[in-house]
Amino acid sequence: MLSNAPKLFLESLIAKINHAVFMSSDDLAQQTKSWAKWLTPGISVKRWLLLSMTGIFLISLGLSNLWALLAIKHPITLLSQLLALIDRLSSNYIIDICAIAVGLYLACWGQIRSITSIFQALNLEGHQNLVDILLSHHRLNRGHKIVALGGGTGLSSLLRGLKHYSSNLTAIVTVADDGGSSGRLREELGVLPPGDIRNCITALAKEESLLTRLFQYRFAAGGGLEGHSFGNLFLTAMSEVTGNLETAIAASSKILAVQGQVLPATLSNVDLWAELDRGQFIRGESKIAAAKGKINKIGCFPANPKALPAALRAIESADCIILGPGSLYTSIIPNLLVPEIRNAIANANVPCIYVCNIMTQPGETDGYSVADHIKAIDEVCGEKLFDAVLVNQTAPSQQAIAKYVQEDSQPVVLDLEEIKATGRQLILADILDEDPQTHHIRHHSPKLARALDNLVCKINCTKKNQSMQFDLNNRDISNYLIPQSVFSTASK
């Protein structure tokens, strides 16, 4: 591939030259008209470009004069003869050196002011330096290609932290939600639920601008508007205008300057169903948790929804795949009920990491340990789909535990032997975020993102050092991809 690089570059260069030489009269007129716009009064660019050109001329004049004095005694051009005459009048190099110095100053000043004028026009808020923006853009563009699957608040929290490490992010979001504003829109208009997608779009927005806050605004009154969020209504309307939810998400992402991409797992109208231990059959995502029974089996209608092709391409090109965090049965597993997504993850030659919940969820995972979460995913997938499980290592406060006990929730138990029996590698990290006032517990977005980014960096470093010593199809990263010293182990 490297040997073809010069050839490809040459072909590209020849194509550009041919386009410039054989440009049609209409194209030439259009290009000339475009260039002429730079001469429009009031854009604060022409003066600085002219100043730069003056500086470049003075630099050229000074260098040419010095060259004529030091290298040639017999001038060969009219310019050299003129410079020689100037030299005879000056009798030293002071004029030449001054011309170069003044030229450098004018050229640099003109370039700086030109770039500043353009930057001020593009960056309306103006609270960042241009160099900081360029460095951040360069760093984020070189970030890892990470695909995160889930839904609810857990996925959006993860994305809010990851966007500071990479712009090559893809969120694959479940579309099985049938509660709240999303459920009402789904029932009344027959559209796919936009709620979880809206949360992910706003989480990946570059800045928490007024428009981002507007997307999250929820109407508190009004006959048909009460309870709806503006973002849900906007995505629903955009779906009607553009034709489907995928194009509506792409258009909305451009408006909010989203860093990465958000994709629905499928464009099929999916309904979850669950069989409980009491023999009940429950249909509907919001009704499953409300039934408050142990889930024996879970599936969806239609049984084999077709995956979005863009989601499959993102998984195939990923450096790392992340499942969760989020509700086990209603946020994470629904994505894995799409056979093509499940198969794409299984065939991916990159590490796949499951981020386990910190607390159990009433009606879904009552009394579940970490190993129980792993086994539930394995049972749905019929195979070992992920390589490692990331678990919080910081204990909640007693006040938080007491609060959650009243809500029939408790910390997810870390059962080491059972986890080991599943064949997964355990990764412990401090990723707990507890509100000191309300004692509400969630994953700490920056800490979780930092832990995952460091993990992917160390995986890639190990792969580079052992590029010929492992078989990625094995998918047991504990043996060859990551040395044990990289991770916090349970014994520590």
pLDDT tens digits for 461-481? 665 554 333 333 334 333 323
**Is 403 part of any domain?**
yes
**Is 376 part of any domain?**
yes
**Is 478 part of any domain?**
yes
Indicate if 28 and 165 belong to the same structural domain: no
pTM for the model: 0.76
**Is 186 part of any domain?**
no
CB contact set of 379 (below 8 Å; sequence gap of 6+): none
Indicate if 79 and 156 belong to the same structural domain: no
Indicate if 145 and 105 belong to the same structural domain: no
**Is 247 part of any domain?**
no
Query: Of 122, 157, 188, at which residue does a domain stop?
Result: 122
What sign for the dihedral angle of Cα 70, 75, 77, 83?
Answer: positive
Asked if residue 293 lies in contact with residue 366, where contact means CB atoms within 8 angstroms, the answer is no
Indicate if 151 and 286 belong to the same structural domain: yes
Secondary structure (DSSP) of 270-309: -EEEEEETTS-EEESHHHHHHH---EEEEEEESSSPPBPH
**Is 63 part of any domain?**
yes
Indicate if 111 and 157 belong to the same structural domain: no
CB atoms within 10 A of CB 55: 22
Structural domain count of the chain: 2
Indicate if 151 and 31 belong to the same structural domain: no
Indicate if 380 and 292 belong to the same structural domain: yes
What share of the chain in percent tops pLDDT 70?
A: 73
**Is 183 part of any domain?**
no
What's the confidence (pLDDT) of residue 124?
Answer: 47
**Alpha helices by DSSP H, 256-327:** 285-291, 309-316
**Is 309 part of any domain?**
yes
Length of the chain: 492
What's the confidence (pLDDT) of residue 435?
Answer: 94
- Report the C-alpha gap between 328 and 372 in whole angstroms: 10
Q: What type of residue sits at position 332?
A: I
Residue 276 DSSP SS3: strand
Asked if residue 330 lies in contact with residue 151, where contact means CB atoms within 8 angstroms, the answer is yes
Asked if residue 180 lies in contact with residue 157, where contact means CB atoms within 8 angstroms, the answer is no
| Nearest CA-CA partner of 449 in 251, 159, 170, 155 | 159
For the cut 80, the answer to whether the pLDDT of residue 15 exceeds it is no
439-460 average pLDDT score: 90
Indicate if 331 and 461 belong to the same structural domain: yes
How distant is the alpha carbon of residue 23 from its chain centre? Answer: 39
Query: Of 93, 122, 151, at which residue does a domain stop?
Result: 122
What's the confidence (pLDDT) of residue 222?
Answer: 76
The residue range of the domain holding 35 is 23-122
Indicate if 144 and 44 belong to the same structural domain: no
For the cut 80, the answer to whether the pLDDT of residue 440 exceeds it is yes
Average pLDDT of the chain is 81
**pLDDT grade, residue 50 (50/70/90)?**
confident
| Residue bearing the bigger pLDDT, 209 or 343 | 343
**pLDDT grade, residue 427 (50/70/90)?**
very high
Indicate if 32 and 161 belong to the same structural domain: no
Indicate if 151 and 62 belong to the same structural domain: no
- Report the C-alpha gap between 146 and 318 in whole angstroms: 6
Indicate if 50 and 155 belong to the same structural domain: no
Query: Of 56, 89, 122, at which residue does a domain stop?
Result: 122
Which domain CATH number covers 379? Answer: 3.40.50.10680
